[in-house]
Structure 1
Amino acid sequence: MRGSAAATSPGPAAPRRGNGDPVKALLHRHRELVEGAVDPLEIAAGLEIHGVTDRTAARFRHRDVFSLAEELYARVPRGGEPPRPAAAPPAEPVAAWAGLVLAPGAVALVAAGGLALTEGPARLGVGVAAVLALAAAGVAAVRRGPLRAAPGRPARSTVLWTLWLLGYAVAGDGLLQALVGGGPDALWPLAPAPLLVLALSVAPAAWCARLFSGRARRRLAASRGLDDFATGVRPLLLAAVGLQLLALTALSAAAGAPYGTVALGVLLLIARLLTVHGRPEAAAAALGAACAAEALALASVLAGRLPGLHPLAAPVRAVVDAWGPAAVPALVCGTAALALLAHATVALSRASAHADAAPTP
């Protein structure tokens, strides 16, 4: 019996083999991920997606997921090549995208000047040309540099929701004021100032996205645990959003834009950051919810004109009477931005959100 017991006892120095090697079992389970990884960092991010945490790594006799990923990387034969440390992706020259993110603001300034100097049909022509030029400049700005998302990531509905929010920023306040007053009896006034502010804010948004992505990648490469990385990256996200908030506030004050423009600009930045880092569904959901709330505000005022449905319009009328029509998009976009920021502080503090992000300039 003693001999049998001794024969079955593994001993402290026994190597891990077969069923007694949990790391080997994990390697078989995630072999495709490990073999296709270019560095241990990519493996760590992939393991995180599959639910492996630092606590899980302890069961594999490792202090954290990064250490476990390094062993998995080393176990796959690579022609004698030693494991490479995690490296940041190649940087795209700033000059390649700086002009593109400045273009929307430049087009908006030229358009504002053209609208101020023209009247009648000529003014209408300038307005149409400005909208087309701004659309082209905006598309170009998000296809290069820090605002670029990987192909296929943006949800299709995101573009539609963004267009609605921009359209409401220009025409929504005037329409709501006219509806509350019993109209509209004629074409309500448009407000080009929000579009000017948002176009000018594309450049600071790109720099904030660059700051966040670049610092997060460096933090990821230097971290030795997922919890350590998450703790360090959350202040980076809040700093990026705070800088954009300051830029939007200054631009809105200079252009005389309604305060709802600031909330909309922050909402669009957070949504874009989530899209860039592979979380477009949450961005689309928040933008869609904001659009639905703005549409509901307009519809409730119209419904309140029907017999017996006057209470439906009471909340919106109370807000407009107290703070003006600009308060409605400010409350809607501000609430959506706060909710999306709360989600982003969790989603963007995961290693997997940065390991496969677009190259950061």
Structure 2
Amino acid sequence: MAATAKSENEARRGKMMDFSLTPVQRELQARTRQFIAEQVMPMERDPRQTAHGPTEDLRTDLVDKARAAGLLTPHASTQAGGLGLSHRDKAIVFEEAGYSPLGPVAMNIHAPDEGNIHLMELVATPEQKARWLHPLILGHTRSCFCMTEPAPGAGADPSMLQTTAVRDGDHFVITGRKWFITGATGATFAIIMARMEDGTATMFLADMNQAGVEIERQMEALDTCFTGGHAVVRFDGLRVPESDVLGKLGEGFRYAQLRLAPARLTHCMRWLGAARRAHDIAASYARQRLAFGRTLVEHEGVGFMLADNEMDMHTARLTIWHCAWVLDQGEKGRDESSLAKVYCSEALWRVVDRSVQVLGGSGVTDETIVARIFRDMRAFRIYDGPSEVHRWSMAKRIARG
């Protein structure tokens, strides 16, 4: 019996170590890379980019290009119009898309829409899918995910949720305040997390252009890559019919984990592409720039930084692939997604930081895109839970034995 279990574990580990790409994956990788290089990167200096992300007009133009290339919303199921990508397929495509800050926007795989699409495909009713999900998949609309609140509300600790939902006949009345809500400005609808009278949490779907919804203000942030930026949103007596409950009453916290585990991983995939872009620019500069009679890369201080970049990116990619494999097996992968989120966010930050250092003055100005990647990347260590919370979660599991 023990020998059988051992052989099964060995076989599983053997499968996990097979990171070679299939011919189909190679073709998809090449097609995505070409699309980003030829259609998206030339638009990176488009004046329709603002401190709060690309304008809706720019987003629409980018989405049209991805639609024409057959690369729009590739993570959605084939029945819904996507390519039905596995998590391993997404690891390839999302990395290539992340090579440009506009790539995820163009391909409709940016946060929060990417995670909302994943969740709604799993738990939304057919009527909810027709009303909200299908236009989102087609790139005609945007959405937001309203969970984080100002103190003393929910942040890294979702159990502190303050927004309430009180039943009133066949409606629920939602009252509360959310902040750091990515994409809220210009979003067509929201997924709202609220606390029920019995202390459980429920998710609700609601149009943003109705009474009871107010965007109080835009928040100034380091990053500029998300359409709509980040906003403070108030719900004041918002009436939501019971038919617009997302999934089952009282299951909000469970659905949040259902959404966040793959969403953490797709963040890693996209930011790996951005880190690779920063490294490529820094490496090219180091091969050409002369100092003290030699190119920069010939100086060990610079050459070693670029070598460390390659090691960090390689290990991050293996970490992503391992976690993707776990999710593709139908396992929950909560610990793995936490591991990937912590390691990748910190490793890829090191890559971008070193790239800035190698570039010197060019790295801290907009002479290259690296400064922009640097600003956008810093928040990655906080999105979907800061590194410290994930470490704490893993430590609690270790303590249980």
Shorter-chain TM range is under 0.3
TM-score normalised by the chain length of structure 1: 0.27
TM-score normalised by the chain length of structure 2: 0.25
Greater gyration radius? 1
Structure having the larger proportion of residues in helix: 1
Instruction: Considering Cα pairs closer than 8 Å and 6+ residues apart, tell me whether 1 or 2 has the greater RCO.
Output: 1
